[in-house]
Amino acid sequence: MKMGKRLFKIFGPIVLAAVLLLAALLSPFSFGLNHVSKETEQKAAVSLSANVLKGRLIKRQALDDGYVPFFGSSEWSRFDPMHPSVLAQKYHRDYQPFLLGARGTQSLTQYFAMQSVKKQLTHKKAVFVISPQWFVPKGTRKDAFGYYYSPLQTTDWLQSERNTAMDRYAAKRLLQMPSGSSDRVLADALARVAAGFKPTKSQQAYINYKARLLGSEDEFFSRVGIADKNLRKVEHQTQALPANYNFNQLDQLAGKIGKANTTSNSLEISNQFWRTQLKRNYHRLQGSQTHLNYTKSPEFSDFQLVLNQFANNHTDVLFIIPPINQRWADYTGLSMKMIQQFDRKIRYQLTSQGFTNICDLSRRGSEDYFMTDTIHLGWRGWLAVDQKVAPFLKQPSAGQLHYDLNDAFYSKQWQQLNPNDIRRFEQSN
């Protein structure tokens, strides 16, 4: 029949293409696309790109190949010669950092980023930088969370939830974010999880279908467009370092580089940051931070998710608490007493549950060239981090980790607790 033939000519290719596409996306085979080259791993480890954080394949492969996850946020973009990635490369350490996080990534984002590499975290080591600035009264910003949101990680998470306090809290938090309700079926499933129910059979089927689809997409596309800009920066910075590692010599060098790079202002803030971010607003910012408070925030419970995940996977973690540039804090009126209160609260949350590897730098913000700008570690600060990180990653894991989790850290009471009331909290929970 003539019409049938003609219609087949018009629509045949479309039908064929659709069938092939579905087959490729839903098939369990990876067509040899699941190989990530060493160069890609190298680039991805320092790229700080949202796609790497949101993806799965590259993170898995790199961590399987011995990269150590360094969770954090904006500090990772401060690539000076003492940056952990630079030191590790220059001195051929037997670990290489895989930097996870960039501006705007906080505990909740990190928790979901961990979902795709749970196996890779199990009985392994990790480094985690806690920024006090995350712990603002409203917690993580919805748009920042959305920027790093990955549906793939959500389906990974939904496939492994076990109706624990952690799962219910995570589902609840996700639903408070616009990205969490961007997919209607997933949102309904999340609502069930938050309420303590399993997703329905049909939701479960949808989750599995979505997981397969997104997983294939990740395999096809995750390697596209990873910039090598940061890798080149790292390589460039290694040239400034002497051939042999000597702490005192490096510390002096760090001070010298810091001094040379902070000539434009009296706050020991890097010239570049000063020129592009501060100079314009400098006068407006005097005394502008007297009311900042990092002691009451939903972020404390979001952070508990991260701790919970580490505990579940028996991960040996070194936590780093960076300081704030003292000169800057004095200028803006940021309360150091409040910072110490924050420190007390976060340390209690860590130590009371068995997380005792803490590199607490919070009182060292007044040391020269410790910070590269207002709140980010640089030069001598990075070196101080290295003093803890290198031995931590060198020694074999302590063997048995004794984590003792307390679900009360998911409560509003803890989020809003005045650090002076920690004793009372301890007694009642």
Partner 1 sequence: MMSFDPYGNPTYFILLFVALLPLMIGLLYGRRSHVYETIISFVFLLLTFGGVKWHTGIALICYLVYQIVLVGLYSKYRQRPDSPNKGWVFVVSVILAIAPLAVVKITPAVSHGASSIIGFLGISYLTFKVVQTIMETRDGVITEFHPVLFGQFLLFFPTISSGPIDRYRRFVKDYESVPTREKYLALVEKGVRYVFLGFLYKFILAYIFGTRMLPVVEHAALQAHGISWALLGVMYVYSMDLFFDFAGYSLFAVGISYLMGVETPMNFNQPFKSKNIKDFWNRWHMTLSFWFRDFIYMRLVFFVMKHKVFKSRITTANVCYVINMLIMGFWHGETWYYIVYGLFHGFAMVINDAWLRYKKKHRASIPSNKFTEYFAIFLTFNVVCFSFLIFSGFLDTLFFAGRP
The contact set with partner 1 (CB under 8 A) reads 3, 6-7, 9-11, 14, 225, 276, 280
- Residues forming a β-bridge with 96: 67
**3-state SS of the chain?**
CHHHHHHHHHHHHHHHHHHHHHHHHHCCCCCCCCCCCHHHHHHHHHHCCHHHHHCCHHHHHHHHCCEEEEECCHHHHCCCCCCHHHHHHHCCCCCEEEEECCCCCCHHHHHHHHHCCHHHHCCCEEEEECCHHHCCCCCCCHHHHHHCCCHHHHHHHHHHCCCCHHHHHHHHHHHHCHHHHCCHHHHHHHHHHHCCCCCCHHHHHHHHHHHHHHHHHHHHHCCCCCCCHHHHHHHHHHCCCCCCCCHHHHHHHHHHHHHHCCCCCCCCCCHHHHHHHHHHHCHHHCCCCCCCCCCCCCHHHHHHHHHHHHHHCCCEEEEEECCCCHHHHHHHCCCHHHHHHHHHHHHHHHHCCCCCCEEECCCCCCCCCCECCCCCECHHHHHHHHHHHHHHHHCCCCCCCCCCCCHHHHCHHHHCCCHHHHHHHHHHC
Of the pair 11, 197, the CB lying nearest partner 1 is at 11
Of the pair 249, 276, the CB lying nearest partner 1 is at 276
Q: How far is the CB of 129 from partner 1 (least distance, A)?
A: 26
Of the pair 17, 260, the CB lying nearest partner 1 is at 17
Q: How far is the CB of 9 from partner 1 (least distance, A)?
A: 8
Of the pair 280, 291, the CB lying nearest partner 1 is at 280
Nearest CA-CA partner of 165 in 394, 406, 329, 352:
406
Q: How far is the CB of 318 from partner 1 (least distance, A)?
A: 35
Of the pair 9, 291, the CB lying nearest partner 1 is at 9
Of the pair 225, 399, the CB lying nearest partner 1 is at 225
Report whether 63 contacts 100 (CB < 8 A): no
Q: How far is the CB of 372 from partner 1 (least distance, A)?
A: 20
Q: How far is the CB of 321 from partner 1 (least distance, A)?
A: 30
Q: How far is the CB of 14 from partner 1 (least distance, A)?
A: 7
Q: How far is the CB of 281 from partner 1 (least distance, A)?
A: 9
Of the pair 3, 243, the CB lying nearest partner 1 is at 3
Of the pair 6, 141, the CB lying nearest partner 1 is at 6
Q: How far is the CB of 19 from partner 1 (least distance, A)?
A: 15
What's the gap between Cα 342 and its chain centre?
A: 20
Q: How far is the CB of 220 from partner 1 (least distance, A)?
A: 15
Report whether 150 contacts 138 (CB < 8 A): no
Of the pair 16, 195, the CB lying nearest partner 1 is at 16
